[in-house]
């Protein structure tokens, strides 16, 4: 199988307008992944599946990641005039900026036919608010269907072209995404039949009449 660098070069040669960048991994696994742009994702995925040398016929895992806005310090190298007759003096200036956050979806691909892999793809949204649409890879690997639904449910990524995009863990009327890093857990536990511990303390804030019965809002005499 190609090295990551060779596969990157093959993809760029096949799709010259695409973004294909290697993302290093500092963990013991050292599994390099490929960040590809959403516009070429379907074409690249189809090539990875259909290329006889790769034959990546199985997507085993689809994972969502929430990257929040972060402060980045850029180091700008400049020069300033030196004393008369002396050369300029190199100086460094630090400039802080905010790098916008985004949502990321990671696909682990294997070849069952050729017993090789994984090849790891990364797709990134434009931001975390109003540019959260990515192409679904379910048309290429059917095993993505439920996993993309989970990422949609818990992170809020909208997968265009998905055959059945709806919540899979939370109920349809739910309006938030519990795996977002800025998610705030509600403290209304009306649905909890036997609240205890922290849940009981939260229930009491919403249902002052609660005095230890099994249902918030009811007294022991009800």
pLDDT at 85: 79
- Give the whole-angstrom CA distance, residue 5 versus residue 9: 6
pLDDT at 123: 98
User: Alpha carbon of 180 to those of 93, 134, 147, 153, 164: distances in Å?
Assistant: 35, 17, 16, 10, 22
Helices 41-50 and 4-14 cross at an angle (nearest 10°) of 120
- Give pLDDT tens digits for 161-208: 999 999 999 988 888 999 999 998 877 655 556 667 777 777 777 766
Sheet holding 58-67, edge to edge: 20-23, 33-36, 116-124, 102-111, 58-67
pLDDT at 82: 78
pLDDT at 201: 76
Phi and psi angles of residue 201, each rounded to the nearest 5 degrees, phi first: -60, -40
Residue with tokens 């649905």: 191
- Domain positions in the chain are 4-67+102-175, 186-222
Mark the ranges of the chain whose per-residue pLDDT is less than 50.
211, 213-222
pLDDT at 222: 40
Q: Rounded to 5, what percent of the chain is helix, strand, coil?
A: 20, 30, 50
Pick the closest to residue 31 from 141, 143, 106 (CA basis): 106
Q: Angle at the Cα of 102 (from 34 to 175), degrees rounded to 5? A: 125
pLDDT at 219: 43
Does this model's pTM top 0.75? My answer is yes
pLDDT at 1: 84
CATH tag for 4-67+102-175 (out of 3.40.50.300, 3.10.20.600, 3.30.460.80, 2.102.10.10): 3.30.460.80
């Amino acid at each position: 199988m190609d090295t990551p660098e060779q596969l990157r070069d093959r993809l760029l040669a096949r799709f010259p307008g695409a973004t294909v960048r290697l993302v290093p991994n500092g963990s013991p696994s050292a599994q390099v992944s490929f960040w590809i742009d959403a516009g070429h994702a379907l074409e690249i995925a189809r090539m990875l599946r259909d290329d006889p040398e790769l034959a990546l016929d199985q997507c085993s895992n689809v994972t969502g990641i929430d990257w929040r806005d972060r402060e980045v310090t850029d180091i700008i190298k400049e020069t300033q005039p030196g004393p008369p007759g002396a050369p300029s003096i190199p100086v460094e200036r630090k400039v802080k900026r905010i790098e916008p956050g985004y949502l990321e979806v990671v696909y682990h691909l294997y070849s069952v036919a050729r017993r090789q892999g994984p090849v790891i793809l990364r797709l990134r949204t434009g931001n975390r608010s109003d540019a959260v649409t990515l192409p679904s890879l379910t048309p290429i690997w059917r095993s993505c269907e439920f996993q993309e639904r989970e990422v949609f449910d818990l992170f809020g990524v909208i997968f265009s072209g998905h055959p059945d995009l709806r919540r899979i863990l939370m109920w349809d009327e739910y309006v938030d995404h519990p795996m977002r890093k800025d998610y705030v857990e509600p403290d209304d536990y009306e649905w909890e039949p036997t609240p205890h511990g922290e849940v009981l303390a939260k229930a009491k804030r919403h249902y002052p009449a609660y005095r230890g019965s099994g249902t918030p809002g009811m007294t022991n005499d009800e």
